[in-house]
């Protein structure tokens, strides 16, 4: 049987590979705020770093969030990977009058070293008036 020659439609296409896409999200769960770095794509992201404007504090006002290693540099973030950290209780965050409107600028690279940047704006005031239940085993174990 003769070998089949590839047709011009069978030739390799040079479509660019999809790029990674990384976001920072604020998550609210029963009165507790978390920050998550999430690779929302099917491609790995490299050298992920996040800058916040304006700067703000978490964990009872003790920690400048941008100083956490999580936001200063993740060398490799797998596809669909999510890494979250506790920010604070919503009541403690709002009582300290921390910024309500925060811009997270996320910088990252693809596997070829191409650089990307994404800005995500969060308005934390949407969480101020949410109702939630606190069970007895949770009460007293959360930072205030």
Q: Would you say residue 139 lies in a domain?
A: no
Question: How many separate domains does the chain show?
Answer: 1
Residue-wise pLDDT for 20-34, tens only, equals 999 999 999 999 999
113: containing domain: 22-126
Q: Would you say residue 141 lies in a domain?
A: no
Q: Would you say residue 72 lies in a domain?
A: yes
- CB-facing half-sphere around the CA of 140: CA atoms within 13 A: 3
Q: Would you say residue 136 lies in a domain?
A: no
Q: Would you say residue 137 lies in a domain?
A: no
Task: Record the pTM.
Answer: 0.81
Pairing of strands 115-123, 57-58: unpaired
Q: Would you say residue 77 lies in a domain?
A: yes
Q: Would you say residue 103 lies in a domain?
A: yes
CATH classification at residue 67? 2.60.40
Q: Mention every residue, 6+ apart, whose C-beta is less than 8 A from residue 71.
A: 37, 49, 50, 51, 52, 65
pLDDT interval class at 136 (50, 70, 90): low
Q: Would you say residue 33 lies in a domain?
A: yes
């Amino acid at each position: 049987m003769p070998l089949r020659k590839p047709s011009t439609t069978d030739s390799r296409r040079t479509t660019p590979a999809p790029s990674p896409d990384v976001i920072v999200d604020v998550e609210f769960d029963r009165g507790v705020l978390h920050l998550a770095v999430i690779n929302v794509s099917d491609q790995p992201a490299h050298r992920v770093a996040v800058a916040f404007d304006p700067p703000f504090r978490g964990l009872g006002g003790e920690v400048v969030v941008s100083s956490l290693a999580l936001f200063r540099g993740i060398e490799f973030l797998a596809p669909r990977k999510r890494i979250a950290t506790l920010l604070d209780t919503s009541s403690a965050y709002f009582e300290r009058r921390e910024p309500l409107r925060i811009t997270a600028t996320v910088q990252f690279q693809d596997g070829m070293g191409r650089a990307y940047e994404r800005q995500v704006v969060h308005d934390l005031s949407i969480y101020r008036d949410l109702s939630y239940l606190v069970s007895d085993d949770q009460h007293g174990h959360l930072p205030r």
